[in-house]
Amino acid sequence: MKNNQVLKIEANLASFLQNEQVHASLAGIRRGIERELIRTQATGGISDKTHPVELGSALTHPYITTDFAEAQLELVTPAMDDRTATFDSLASLHHFVATRLPEGETLWGASMPPQLPNDEAESEGAIRIASYGTSNAGLLKKRYREGLANRYGKRMQLISGIHYNFSLPEAFWIALYDHQKSIDSSVAQMPLEAFVSERYFHMIRNVLRHGWLVPYLFGASPAVDNSYLQGKAHALEVFDDETCYLPWATSLRLSNLGYSSDEQSSYPISFNNRQQYLSDLHNALTRPSERYLHLDIDQQMNGSVLQLENELYGSVRPKIVNDTLRPLYAMCHYGVQYVELRSMDNNPYLPLGIAQEQSHFLDLFLVYSALAPSPELTEEERAIVVQRQELVATQGRKPDLTLPTLEGEVSLETLGLDLLDAIQQIAALFDDAFSTDSYQTSIFSERMKLQNSDLTPSAKLLAQMKDQGLSHQGLMQRLSDEHLLVHLQHQVETEKMDNLTALVDESLSKQQQMERQPDISFDDFLKKQNQLQRDCKQQEMMV
C-alpha cells in the first residue's frame, strides 16, 4: 500500500466474504436508479409545456414524476435484486415517456441545462416550477420548490443527474453482525437494527473519503451553455460564443458552480453515527437562517437552513422508505435501510445516462466502503474531502494533479490506483460468487481511465466539441436526438406497457381523490408540517 489514505479490507473481513452463506446473500443486493432529465423543445430550449397528462400525475405516479421544474422529469425504477431487470425497467420508462412527449420535444441527455431564457424573472412560462395540483400535499411540494427557487435560483435547480440507490440484503447484515460480535464485544451489546444503521454510516464516511473517484471516472459536465451563467460570478474559460468550460474539468455539476449551497456548508452534517446525523439534521431543519428570513411565508416553507430533509445537498445520503412518517422521524424509529449515491452525472453518450458496467463498479465501490476501515471524520478530514471534490470536479484531468490527504499531497493517479487495488479484492470474490468476469472487467476499464484521462467521458465530450466545432448545446442536442430514436425503438413487453398505462390512470384518479377529500386550509396544514419539524427533537433523542 503506497499511502494510508486507502485502507485495504482487513483479513478477517476478506475471509468473511468467502463464506458460502455470504456469497449466496450477495444475490440479494438491491439497486434502484433515479434519473433526472429535461424536456426540450425542437429549438433546443427548455419546454414551456406542462407535465403531459399522458404520463400521469407527477404527485402520485410511483415511477414517473417531476423534480424541480414542470419540464424536468424524474424517472424512478423500483429497487430490485436483478441488475438486468433494473436497467430494463429504466429503458421501459424512457420508451413510455418518449412515445408520449408533446410533438417536437426531446429528452435532454446532459446534466447541465440546455439553453435557458435570458431573463429568469420575465420567463416564468419557460422555467415553470413543477405543479402538483390543489391538495395540501401537492401545494406543499410546490411551496417547497418555490423556496428552492427563491433561495438558489431556478437555473441551479435545473441541473440533473442520476441517483443510485443501494442496499445490502438482511442475510448479509446478519452474517456480518454475527461475525463482528465474535471479535468486538461492543457489537454484542448492539441490536441488529442499530448495527445495520451504524454500518451504513460507516459506508457513507468511506464514500465521502473516496467519492472523488466517481466524478473523475464518470463525470460528464466539463462545459456549460452561457445562459446558465447569467448573474453568476465564475472563472470559466470561453469555448465558443455559446459555451464556457474548464479545460481539465470532469463535473461542473459537482463543483461550487453547480449544485451547491454556501449556507448549508456553514452548518455541516456529521455522518459519524446516527445520533449525530439526526441531531445535526434536526438543527438545520429548525435553525432560522439569516440568509432566508427576508423571504415571506408564501415564498418558502419556512426560514430554516433546510426547509425539508430533501433540501440537504451532498454526494450521498442515508435513506429509509416510509410512506407515513417524515424521514427524520422514520430514521429515528427504524434506522437506515439503504444509501443514495448522488454524484453521478448523466452520461450524454448513453441512452439511459448510465451503463450496466458502471453499475458493477458502483456495487464494488459501495461494498468496499462498507467493509474497509472507516474511522470517524474529523473536521480536518471533512475539510479535505470538500477540497478534494472541488479539485477533481474542476481540474480532475490536469496532468500530475495532486490531491490533499491527511498525510499531505498525493497524486490523483496514485490515490486512484491504490483504491482500485483495494477494491480488486472484492471484484474477484464477486466474480466467483456470480460465475462471471464482469466485476473485474469493470475495474480494468476504470483503471485505464486513471492511466489515460482522455478515456473519461468529460475528456471525450470536450474533444468531440473541439474536433467537430460544436457548442455544448449543439453536441448535447445531437446526442439527445439520437437517444430519443433509441427510446422510441426500444421493445417493451406488452404486459409492461399495459401496466405503465394503467398506472397513468391510477395516479390521476388518486390525485383527484386527494383533492376531493375534506382538508384543513393550506396555511394551517403548512403550520402543522413546520411544527412537526420543530417537535422532532423529542423523537430524535429516542435513538
Please report where in the chains the cell 482500485 appears, as a residue. 420
pLDDT confidence of residue 26: 93
pLDDT at site 210: 97
User: What percentage of residues in the chain have a pLDDT greater than 90?
Assistant: 82
Across 418-431, average pLDDT: 92
Count Cα neighbours of 34 within 13 Å in the Cβ-side half-sphere.
19
Model confidence at 541: pLDDT above 80: no
For range 112-124, the mean pLDDT: 72
Domain spanning 11-530: which CATH class is it, in words? alpha beta
pLDDT reported for residue 450: 98
pLDDT of residue 440: 96
Dihedral (Cα; 58, 61, 65, 71), 10-degree rounding: -50
Q: Is residue 336's pLDDT more than 50?
A: yes
| 241-250, 421-430, 441-450: least confident range | 421-430
Q: What distance in Å separates the CA atoms of residue 484 and residue 49, rounded to the nearest whole number? A: 18
Average pLDDT over residues 30-47: 95
Helix/strand/coil percent split, the chain, to 5? 50, 10, 35
- What local confidence, expressed as pLDDT, does residue 182 receive? 87
pLDDT tops 90 at residue 529: no
pLDDT band of residue 4 (cuts 50, 70, 90) is: low
Least confident span in 20-29, 52-61, 348-357 = 20-29
Cα–chain-centroid distance for residue 105? 25
**Which residues are paired to 304 by β-bridges?**
288
Q: What is the mean pLDDT of residues 243-259?
A: 96
The mean-pLDDT minimum among 108-112, 262-266, 522-526 falls in: 262-266
Query: Which band of pLDDT confidence, cut at 50, 70 and 90, is reported for residue 2?
Result: very low
| Range from 146-150, 263-267, 379-383 carrying the lowest mean pLDDT | 263-267
Model confidence at 186: pLDDT above 50: yes
Domain spans in the chain, listed from the N-terminal domain onward: 11-530
Pairing of strands 72-76, 106-108: unpaired
Q: Name the average pLDDT for the chain.
A: 93
Band (172; pLDDT cuts 50, 70, 90): very high
Most confident of 181-195, 290-304, 471-485, 529-543: 471-485
Instruction: Check residue 8 and give its pLDDT.
Output: 72
Q: What is the mean pLDDT of residues 232-249?
A: 96
The pLDDT-based confidence of 535 (bands split at 50, 70, 90) is: low
Q: Quick one: pLDDT band at residue 277, thresholds 50, 70, 90?
A: very high
Instruction: Return the closest-CA partner of residue 87 out of 97, 77, 96, 95.
Output: 77
Residue pair 156/68 in contact by the 8 Å Cβ criterion? no
Q: What is the pLDDT of residue 183?
A: 86
Cα(209)–Cα(243) distance, rounded to whole angstroms? 32
d(CA 39, CA 49): 9
**If you search the block for the grid coordinates 410512506, which residue do you land on?**
323
User: Which has more confidence, 351 or 12?
Assistant: 351
pLDDT surpasses 90 at 263:
no
Q: What is the pLDDT of residue 184?
A: 85
Q: Does residue 146 have a pLDDT over 60?
A: yes
pTM of this prediction? 0.95
Cell numbers for 416, please give them: 486512484
Whether the pLDDT of residue 21 is over 80: the answer is yes
Q: Nearest to residue 94, comparing CAs of 479, 506, 490?
A: 490
The answer to whether the beta carbons of residues 44 and 115 sit under 8 Å apart is yes
Which pLDDT does position 44 carry in this prediction? 87
DSSP letters along 62-81, please? SSEEESSBTTEEEEEPPPBS
Contacts of 289 (CB under 8 A, 6+ apart): 263, 303, 304, 305
pLDDT at residue 5, rounded to an integer: 64
| pLDDT at residue 341 is higher than 60 | yes
DSSP 345: P
Does the pLDDT of residue 1 top 50, yes or no?
Answer: no
Say what angle helices 356-371 and 192-210 make with each other, to 10 degrees: 120
> Are the C-beta atoms of 387 and 404 separated by less than 8 Å?
yes
pLDDT tens for residues 356-403? 999 999 999 999 999 999 999 999 999 999 999 999 999 999 999 999
| For residues 38-60, average pLDDT | 95
Average pLDDT over residues 81-99: 98
The pLDDT of 439-445, averaged and rounded, is: 97
Is residue 92 over pLDDT 70? Answer: yes
E runs forming strands in 41-111: 64-66, 72-76, 106-108
pLDDT at 105: 97
pLDDT of residue 119: 58
